[in-house]
Amino acid sequence: MRKPEIDKKLLKKHLRGEHADEKGVKTKFFKEKLKRKEVYLEYAAEQAARAEILKNEEEGFIEADQDESTADYTQKEIVQNVDITAATKHFNLSLDFGPYRLRYTKNGRHLLLGGRRGHIAAFDWVTKRIHCEMNVMEEVADVSWLHLETMFACAQKNWVYFYDNQGTEIHCIKRMSRVNRMEFLPYHFLLATASSEGFLSWLDVSIGEIVAQYNSKAGDIRIMCQNPYNAVLCTGGSKGVVSMWSPTVREPLAKVLVHSTPMTAIAVDPKGMHLATGGLDRSLKVWDIRKLSGPLAVYKCGMAVNEIDISQKGVLAFSTGNICEMYKQTVMESENPSPYLRERVNDYVYGLRFCPYEDVLGVSTGKGFTSLLVPGSGEPNFDGLEANPFQTKKQRREHEVHALLEKIPMDLISLEPNEIRGVDVETLQDKVNAKKSILFVKPPRIDFKSRRKMKGKGGSANAAKNKQIVKDAKRKEFIKDAKKARDKVFEQHKEKSTTEDFIPLESSNATVLDRFKVKKKNK
Amino acid sequence: MKVKVISRNPDEYMRETKRDLHKVPRNYDPTLHPFEAAREYVRALNATKLDRVFAKPFLASLDGHRDGVSCFGKHPERLSTLCSGAYDGEIRVWDLPMRSCVRNFVAHEGFVRGITYTPCGERFITVGDDKTVKIWKAETPEVGDEEEPVNTLLSRTVLLGVSHHRTEPIFATCGEVCNIWDETRNEPLNVLKWGVDSLHAIAFNMVETSILAACASDRSVIFYDKRETKPLRKMVLTMKSNKLAWNPMEAFNFTVANEDFNLYTFDTRQLKNPVKIHYDHVSAVTDVDYSPTGKEFVSASYDKTIRIYEIHKSHSRDIYHTKRMQHVVCVGWSYDNKYIYSGSDEMNIRLWKARASEKLGATRPRERANFNYQEALKEKYAAHPEIKRIARHRQVPKKIYNTHKKMRAIKDKEKKKEANVRKHSKKGKFKFVAEKKKVVLKEDV
C-alpha cells in the first residue's frame, strides 16, 4: 500500500537544512556513509511531517462580517461570541499598587504580577487560583519566573530577591543591585539582569553563582529583552542603539542604530527572526535579526510606543499610551496597515505580554491588569515534553530533573546557536592573519650562556665577544629563514605576468590612475 | 462575526484515572524546540560521562584450576557451558551463570594444548603434551562412573593445537605436522607438511569451511585446504605469530596475534601486507578471538591485560585489567556477543562484559530506545574534543602507561632518524616504506 503524499511545505518545515554535499568527501566509503545519513535525516523529517496529522487543536481566528473590520470589534463583543471557557480568559483586575509588570511561565499557565509600590501576586490565571500575594514594602522594578512556577525572582529597590510560590523569601542576591530589568534564560538556567548602573549580570540559578557580570558602559539600562532563539540579551537605550550581549564576551556581539531618537520599547519574536523597536520618533521598526542592514518595515504611530510584544504565531502587539493595537503579521505588506484588533485599557500601559499556547494578551497598566483575547496569536498544539500547561506535580518534577541534566553551558551562548554542530573551518581572516604573522615576526631573544672555561683561558671580554658572535649568527639564520618564508608567501600571491614586450589591450585590473605610471621606454 | 480562540478541553490532556498513563501530546515543530544542537551536545556529553561511570566490566573470577589455564573450548549450543584446560593436564567444565565448576578430571600428562567441541555439542576433543588426542562425552558421567574418554587417538608426533570443522566430523591437529582426522578413524586422513619445526596454532575457517590456517615457529603462517594433499601457501612475518583467528563473518579475513606486541588483520586475497595493524599492547600478544558478529575481536597479552579492537581500527576500543590478573594466556568471546572469558597464568578464569557499561539483564522497550538514542548521540558528537577526551580516557596500570610512553618515544625517535637519513642522502636511495609494508617478509606459493 502506498503512503499518502506529504505536503512539500510541511516537509520543508521539518527539514533542518539543505542536503550535505558529498563533493568534498574523499573516499567512497564515507560518501556512502553520508548518503545513508541523508536518507535517515529525510526519513526523520518525513515522520515528523506525518505526525502533524495527530495535532488535535486548531488555530484561532476572527472573521469580520461584511462592511466591518476586525479592528472595530471590542473585547466585549468577542467575549460574547466565544465559548464559556474561553470567555473566562478575558478578565480585569484593578489593583492599587501600580504601575505593574507581568510575566507568564513558559507553559503559559501561571502569571506573576509585580507592582512598583511593592505588590507581588503569583497565580494560576486559568483557574484563578492564587499561589501567593504580598507586599514587600519596597519598590519593585521587575519580576520574573524561574524555570518553574514554584519560584520567582523579584528585583526590588536595592537587591534581587527570590521567593517560592508560597511567598517565602528563599534568597537575596546583594551582588545584583539596583536592577531595572530581568530575563530568565530557561535552557541555560541563567537569570540575566540589567542594572541602573549599566551592569549586566548572569546568575546561574541551578548552582547559585553569578557566572558573569560586567559593565556594559551604556549607563542606565531600562529596556531589555532576550532573544529566545539564541539566548542573547538585547538592550536598548537613550542613544537609539540596540546592543546584543552574551555572558562570555564583554563587548556587544552586535550593535545596531535603530532610531535617531531615544528608544522606548524592544521585543524579539519567539522564533528569533524579527526584532521590533519603538522610539520617541513615534515610529515602530521591525528588523531582521540576521541581517541588520535596514528595517524590514517602519510603522508610524500617533504617539511613542511604550510596550511591544510578538506572539508565537507572529501577531505584533504594541501600546501607545492606553491603547493596545494588534497586527496580524509582524511584517506587513502595506505601509499603512489597518490593525487586526484595537483596545483601549483603563490606564497607561506598563507591560504587554502574549501568553504562550493561548490566544491571550496580558496587559498590565498603572491601575491593574487586563487579559485580552487575541484570536490566532498562540500556538494551539503544545509539546508535552517541552512545555505542558496541564502538567501534574509528578510530571513537573520529572521535567525539572531532565531540564537540569540538559542545562546548556553558558559558553555556548552566541549569535548562532547551532554553531556547535558545524565544522571548525579556518576562516579567510584566520588565513590572512597566519600569513601576516609570517611577514612581521620578531627575532626571538637568544639566551646564550658560554661554557665555563678553565681559569685563565679567556676572560669576561672574550666571553662577551663569543656571546655576541653566537647571537649574530642566530639572528642571521633567523632572518634568512623568515625571508624565505616571506618570499614563499609573495611567490604564491604574485600575479602571473606576461612577457615584457606584450602589452595587453585590457589589463584585468586597470585603473584610471594607470596614466600616472612611468611608461616603459622602447629600446 | 465568527470567532474562534484556543480553548482546550482538559479531559483530552489529562489522564482519566490514576492507573492510566499520562498523556503527552507532541508537536515536532522545530521552532518549539530551540537550542536543538546545544541540547543534543549536552545530552551526548552526559551519555558519554554515564558510559564511563557505569563501565564495570568485571563480572566474576572462576577459581579451581591448580595450574595456569592454557586453553578454552566454547560449547556451540549452550552459552552457559565453558570448558578449560590447564598446564597440569586437568580439564574443568564450568557452569557460567552459577559460576561453579561442574566437572573436573585429569585428561593428559603434561599440558592440555587444545580443546574443541564437536559441532553438535555432544563430545569434545582435547589434545595434550602426551601425544594423544582424546574424545570425551560432553555429558557429565553418572556418580560413581569414572571419567573415560570415548576414544583415544595416538599421534606419532607432538600435538600443540586442535580445531574442528564447522559442520563435518573432521578435525585438524597441529604439532610437527598438520594432521586432518576423522572422528571415527584412528589414523589421520591426511598429513600436511611444509618443512618447518612445529606448528603451534591451527584454525578452521568458519565460512569457507575446508580452508584452515596454522602458525609455525619459523614466523610463518601456512594455509591448507583439507581437500588437497599439499599446503596452499605460506607467508613469513617479521616475528612469530602466537595465535590466529578467522573472521566468522568475512571468509577471507583473519587476525594473527604476534610476538612483536601487535596484531595483524590480513586479507587472504592480498597477503603482501596486512589490512590493518592493531597497536597498543606493550608485550607479546598471546591469544585472539573474534566476536560472533565479526566486527570486533579480543586479544590477550603477556602484559597482563586484554584489549578489545574494532577490526577497522588501529587502536583498541577498551582495555581490561585487574590487579591480580597475571599474564593472560587464552581468551574467548562468547557466542551471544555479550561476554569475554580470559584465562591467565595465576590459575583463574575471569568473566568480563564485552561492552563495559552495558546493562545486563532484560531491558524494557523504553529503556532500550533510550540506550539506542544515547548511542546515536555519542556517535554523532564523538569528534568534539571534550566528549572525545572522556570517551577515550582509561585508567591503566602504571607499568603499562610508562611502557607505552617509552615505546612511543622509541618509535618517534626511529621515525625521526629515518626521516633525517632520507633527507641527507641522495634522492631515491632511501625510500619511504610504509609501516604495513614492513610486516610480511616473504610469500610462498
Q: Output the CA torsion sign for B285, B287, B292, B294.
A: positive
Among A342, A348, A357, A242, residue whose Cα is nearest residue A311: A357
Write out pLDDT tens, residues B43-92.
999 999 999 999 999 999 999 999 999 999 999 999 999 999 999 999 99
Answer yes or no: is A65 within a domain.
no
Residue type, A313: K
Answer yes or no: is A58 within a domain.
no
Is there a single domain that holds both residue B278 and residue B403?
no
Q: Are B406 and B413 in contact (CB under 8 A)?
A: no
More confident residue, A98 or B41: B41
Is there a single domain that holds both residue B159 and residue B123?
yes
Is there a single domain that holds both residue A26 and residue A76?
no
Question: What pLDDT score was predicted for residue A496?
Answer: 61
CA B144 vs CA A360, A462, B140, B141, B147: distances in Å: 88, 99, 11, 8, 9
Chain A residues in contact with B28 (beta carbon < 8 A): 14, 48, 51-52, 383
Helix, strand, or coil here: A265? Answer: strand
- The CATH number of the domain holding residue A242 is 2.130.10.10
Q: Are A200 and A218 in contact (CB under 8 A)?
A: no
Answer yes or no: is B306 within a domain.
yes
Strand partners, B234: B222, B444
Is there a single domain that holds both residue A394 and residue A441?
no
Is there a single domain that holds both residue B190 and residue B261?
yes
Domain membership of residue A28 as a residue range: 8-53
Residue B56, all three cell numbers: 564495570
What is the rounded CA–CA span in Å between residue B254 and residue B246? 4
Among B221, B220, B78, B204, residue whose Cα is nearest residue B140: B78
DSSP A54: G
A113: buried, middle or exposed (CB in 10 Å: 19+, 13-18, 0-12)? buried
Nearest to B22 among A89, A380, A392 (CB): A392
Nearest to A378 among B6, B29, B46 (CB): B6
Answer yes or no: is A1 within a domain.
no
What is the rounded CA–CA span in Å between residue A13 and residue B236? 61
Pairing relation of β-strands B220-225 and B233-237? antiparallel
What is the rounded CA–CA span in Å between residue A455 and residue A226? 76
Cβ contact, residue pair B5, A60, below 8 Å: yes
Q: Locate the chain B residue with the closest alpha carbon to A106.
A: B32
Q: C-alpha A179: how far from its chain's center?
A: 20
Is there a single domain that holds both residue B162 and residue B188?
yes
pLDDT at B154 over 80: yes
Answer yes or no: is B44 within a domain.
no
Chain B residues in contact with A394 (beta carbon < 8 A): 22
In order, the DSSP letters of A110-166 are EEEEEETTSEEEEEETTTTEEEEEEE-SS-EEEEEE-SSTTEEEEEESSEEEEEETT
Answer yes or no: is B100 within a domain.
yes
Cβ contact, residue pair A63, B2, below 8 Å: yes
Chain A residues in contact with B6 (beta carbon < 8 A): 57, 59-60, 86, 357-359, 378, 380
Write out pLDDT tens, residues B195-253.
777 999 999 999 999 999 999 999 999 999 999 888 999 999 999 999 999 999 999 99
Is there a single domain that holds both residue A431 and residue A391?
no
CA A444 vs CA A246, A464, A465, A474: distances in Å: 38, 19, 20, 9
Is there a single domain that holds both residue B278 and residue B392?
no
Rg (CA), chain A: 32
The H or E element containing residue B20 is none
Is there a single domain that holds both residue A190 and residue A263?
yes
What is the rounded CA–CA span in Å between residue B202 and residue A112? 78
DSSP B270: B
Q: Is the model's pTM score more than 0.95?
A: no
Write out pLDDT tens, residues B315-349.
999 999 999 999 999 999 999 999 999 999 999 99
Q: C-alpha B422: how far from its chain's center?
A: 39
Query: B-contacting residues of A 188-247, CB under 8 Å?
Result: 228-229, 231
What is the rounded CA–CA span in Å between residue B307 and residue B59? 16
Is there a single domain that holds both residue A137 and residue A193?
yes
Structural domain count, chain B: 2
Answer yes or no: is A419 within a domain.
no
Is there a single domain that holds both residue A234 and residue A264?
yes
Is there a single domain that holds both residue A113 and residue A229?
yes
Is there a single domain that holds both residue A348 and residue A461?
no
Write out pLDDT tens, residues B358-405.
999 999 999 999 999 999 999 999 999 999 999 999 999 999 999 999
- Nearest CA-CA distance, residue A332 and chain B, Å: 21
Answer yes or no: is A120 within a domain.
yes
Answer yes or no: is B84 within a domain.
yes
Write out pLDDT tens, residues A431-449.
888 877 777 777 778 787 7
Is there a single domain that holds both residue B310 and residue B386?
no
Alpha helix positions (H), B104-209: none
Residues near B115 by Cβ (< 8 Å), separated by ≥ 6?
Answer: B71, B72, B73, B83, B84, B85, B91, B124, B125, B126, B162
What is the rounded CA–CA span in Å between residue B204 and residue B438? 27
DSSP A229: T
Complex confidence, ipTM = 0.84
Q: Are A482 and A441 in contact (CB under 8 A)?
A: yes
Place of cell 566437572: B103
Is there a single domain that holds both residue B339 and residue B219?
yes
B415: buried, middle or exposed (CB in 10 Å: 19+, 13-18, 0-12)? exposed
Nearest to A73 among B1, B37, B46 (CB): B1
- The CATH number of the domain holding residue B228 is 2.130.10.10
Is there a single domain that holds both residue B87 and residue B185?
yes
Q: Show which of B302, B327, B353 is a domain's final residue.
A: B353
Is there a single domain that holds both residue B315 and residue B410?
no
Structural domain count, chain A: 3
Answer yes or no: is B227 within a domain.
yes
Is there a single domain that holds both residue A34 and residue A86?
no
Is there a single domain that holds both residue A332 and residue A436?
no
Answer yes or no: is B339 within a domain.
yes
Is there a single domain that holds both residue B230 and residue B135?
yes
Write out pLDDT tens, residues B249-276.
999 999 999 999 999 999 999 999 999 9
Helix, strand, or coil here: A416? Answer: coil
Contact status of B1 with chain A (Cβ, < 8 Å): yes
Q: Are B367 and B249 in contact (CB under 8 A)?
A: no
Angle between helices B36-53 and B365-380 (to 10 degrees): 110
Cis peptide before B57 (omega within 30 of 0): no
Domain membership of residue B320 as a residue range: 58-353
- Own/partner pairs for B314-319, CB < 8 Å, 24+ apart? B314/B276, B314/B277, B314/B278, B314/B279, B315/B278, B315/B279, B315/B280, B316/B278, B316/B280, B318/B57, B318/B356, B318/B394, B319/B280, B319/B394, B319/B396
All residue ranges of chain A with pLDDT < 50 are none
Q: Are B377 and B47 in contact (CB under 8 A)?
A: yes
What is the rounded CA–CA span in Å between residue B129 and residue B385? 53
- Output the furthest CA–CA distance in chain A (Å, rounded): 116
Answer yes or no: is A410 within a domain.
no
Answer yes or no: is B340 within a domain.
yes
Q: Show which of B330, B353, B376 is a domain's final residue.
A: B353
Question: What pLDDT score was predicted for residue A2?
Answer: 82
CB count, 10 Å around CB of A349?
Answer: 24
Cβ contact, residue pair A375, B5, below 8 Å: yes
Residues near A266 by Cβ (< 8 Å), separated by ≥ 6?
Answer: A223, A224, A225, A234, A235, A236, A242, A275, A276, A277, A278, A308
Q: Are A153 and A203 in contact (CB under 8 A)?
A: no
Contact status of B167 with chain A (Cβ, < 8 Å): no
Residues near A489 by Cβ (< 8 Å), separated by ≥ 6?
Answer: A435, A438, A439
Is there a single domain that holds both residue B248 and residue B396?
no
Answer yes or no: is A62 within a domain.
no
Answer yes or no: is B19 within a domain.
no
Q: Output the CA torsion sign for B400, B403, B407, B409.
A: positive
Is there a single domain that holds both residue A487 and residue A373?
no
Q: Are B377 and B44 in contact (CB under 8 A)?
A: yes
Residue B124, all three cell numbers: 569434545
Question: What pLDDT score was predicted for residue A429?
Answer: 82
